Each structure stands twice: as structure tokens, then as C-alpha cells.
Amino acid sequence: MNAINTLALVVSSAVLWMLFKFLHISYMTAFAIGAVAFVLATISLIFMEPAQTVKKSRRFVFRKEYGLYYWLSVLYGARKQIFITFGPWVLVDVFRQQVTTMIMLFFIVSIAGIFVKPWIGHMIDHLGEKIVLSGEAVACFFTCLGYAFADNLFDQQLALIVICACYVLDQTMNAVSMARATYMKKIALRPEDISPSLSLGTSIDHVVTMFLPILGGLVWYNGGPNGYKYVFIGGAVIALMNFISARFIRLDEQNSALKAVSGA
């Protein structure tokens, strides 16, 4: 399913780039195409046969044994929203890039995802969640510094290339979120805790993403010409906190403790 989704992103990005580049379509036309796609999706969903499932007694599960997973979800929500909201805005507002540049970056991210997503899954299987999540935090730290200081270290053209590289790196690293899910699965006291705990983690993530853009926007626009730099310096601090938190993952010890608690 991920492969089909990635293929759709590759094709749609390429088509949109050509429409904007050669036919010079308007934003209204682009969003009309999106509306048609949603209508087609709705029609497809109508024909889906709902599967018979066992009703869960609890929608969310909160246990102190899963505290590190919840905290990682908080940090992921903060990290994700900084890049989703403010990463593209640096390119548009600071570097004055057009829609064709953004679509081309989407295209590159989609192509990279074909190779990066299986590679990250392979790394989780062979190196474990601790190493993968720590590596993501390090990559995010330097990505934030790249966003913040590229125009101070390089000329305008090279700085733009660095910012684009930071954008692609961050978007492809989003696939590391699967490591948090597999970590939750491994520390679950019982199998029925997994789904509601993942749901709670997602809800925590969403709560953070609702409020962080407001704070980041205030910092950006009250910080003057360098306001966006302060946002990404804050992102680097969050990445550092993420790295430190990931180092507390002790799956062997946690599994032994959890089995003891479960048995009791």
C-alpha cells in the first residue's frame, strides 16, 4: 500500500509540475483537480465492504510503562510540525521559490521514498529502534541548523541548494515514524494494548501539532529578519531532546520488566 501511495505521489507531482511549467495553470485549476480526486476517492469508499471487527473496550490505553513512547510521540509531533509548516515557508517566503520548485521537491521526495522506506525498515530490523531513532534525531539536528544558517555560511544560490537538500532529507526521514510503532509493539504488556496505545500516541502528536505553529509563527514574525532562524534553532533543541530520549530505550531490560509485570 505504501508503494502504491508513493507511485501516486511520483506521478501526480510530475503531472502537476508539467501543468504549472508548460500550461501555466492557475491555483484554482490545481485545487479543482484535487477536488475531483477527492470525489473519486469518495465514490471508491462507498463501494468498500466494512470488515467485521471486534469492538474494543477502550479507545485509548495509558500505562506508566509506556511513558517513553508517549514522550517520543510528543517530540515527534513538535519535530514534524516545525518541518511541515516552516520548512516549505522558508523556501517560499525567504528564498522566494515558485510552485514549480516545490512540486519538483515533492517529486524528488517521492522518488527517494521508494528506496528510503524499505531501507529504514531494514535498519529497524537489523539495528533496532534505539539506533534508528537516535540517527533520525541527529539528522534532524543538522537539518535544523542547515535551515537556520545556510544563508550565513553560503552564497544565495548554494544556500538555496542546501535548504532544498534539508527539505528532502527531512521529508524522507518521516518514514522513521514506523520505528516508534514497532517500539510500542515490543514493549506492550499485552497485544490488545498495542492499537489503543498507538492511537493515544497519535492523539498526543496531534495535540502538539495544533499549538506549535502558533508559537512558531509568533517567534518567526516577532523576531524580525532572523525570526525563522530562531524557529529552527528551537527545532534543533527539540532534536537534541529527541536524541537524549531515544538513548533511554532499553528493549531487553524493558521486555524483562514488562513480562514480570504482565505475569504478576
Mean pLDDT of the region 103-112: 89
Domain segments of the chain as ranges:
2-46, 64-263
Confidence band for 195, pLDDT divided at 50, 70 and 90: confident
| DSSP annotation string for 33-85 | HHHHHHHHHHHHHHTPPPPP-PPPS-S----GGGHHHHHHHHHHHHHHHIIII
Is the confidence at residue 163, as pLDDT, over 60?
A: yes
Is the confidence at residue 245, as pLDDT, over 90?
A: yes
pTM of the model: 0.81
- Mean pLDDT, the chain, rounded, equals 88
For 263, phi then psi, to 5°, come to: -70, -35
Is the confidence at residue 6, as pLDDT, over 60?
A: yes
User: According to the model, what pLDDT value does residue 264 have?
Assistant: 47
Is the confidence at residue 141, as pLDDT, over 80?
A: yes
Q: How far is Cα 67 from Cα 254, in angstroms, rounded to an integer?
A: 12
Is the confidence at residue 135, as pLDDT, over 50?
A: yes
Superfamily in which the 64-263 domain is placed by CATH: MFS general substrate transporter like domains (1.20.1250.20)
